[in-house]
Amino acid sequence: MTTLLLIEDHAPLRRNLRDILSLAGYRVLEAATGPEGLQASREQKPDLVLCDIMLPGCDGMKILAALRADAATHALPFIFLTAKSEPPDIRAGMNLGADDYLPKPVARADLLATIHTRLARASQQRPRLPDFTNAAPLERLGISPREAEVLLWIAEGKANHDIATIIGCAHATVKKHTIHIFEKLGVETRAAAMLIAIETLSAP
């Protein structure tokens, strides 16, 4: 379930927003102060932060600046929700790296549409990790199922003798498969074969 962090010190508004977001299918974390919000952003790893600017202890601008300065939270989608809607305030937030800026009061449809858009964009920008659980996609490279299995372990950085042990065959057999793989992929090095394998395993 997608997790949102709502940082808002006004309790009635926070409850109202929480109910709207929960009914829309999101898991909602709450924080009532700046320090609580910053701590939750770092520790709870939400998928998106929805944050007021005027907060006790640490304002929203400082929270955003701290998150953008940390590699672990640098790309975390961050939306300001605030009554401070003058152009200078908006520019200040955007210059710090805010993804969007919604003035209070915000309509339910606008709130949900903005969150959906920012989550979708973050998903598209997130690098896809290779799937090392299945060798079948590697067969698209024109290699046999057994060669695909060997290439899968090559992509994980295993040496030939390790691969022989894992798949239960002789070291010489793995070496032979490796030579065939290199020929079919048109590469000369293990690193080049590994790169092709990782790119294939990372493809949608």
The whole-number pLDDT of residue 128 equals: 65
User: What distance in Å separates the CA atoms of residue 14 and residue 109, rounded to the nearest whole number?
Assistant: 17
Residues 93-122: tens digit of each pLDDT: 677 778 888 888 889 999 999 999 999 888
Q: Is 7 helix (H, G, I), strand (E, B) or coil?
A: strand
Name residue 48's beta-bridge partners: 4
Q: What is the pLDDT of residues 123-138, one digit of tens each?
A: 776 666 787 888 999 9
What pLDDT was estimated at residue 20? 96
- For residue 126, the model assigns a pLDDT of 66
Q: In the CATH hierarchy, which top-level class contains the domain 136-202?
A: mainly alpha
pLDDT at 123: 79
- Measured CA to CA in angstroms, residue 15 lies from 81, 88, 146 at distances of 14, 29, 57
pLDDT score of 94: 73
| Selection from 130, 117, 145 nearest residue 197 by Cα | 130
Domain 3-125 classified CATH 3.40.50.2300?
yes
| Residues of the chain scoring pLDDT < 50 | none
What is each CA distance from 67 to 30, 38, 75, 161, 182, in whole angstroms?
Answer: 17, 8, 8, 45, 44
Domain boundaries, the chain: 3-125, 136-202
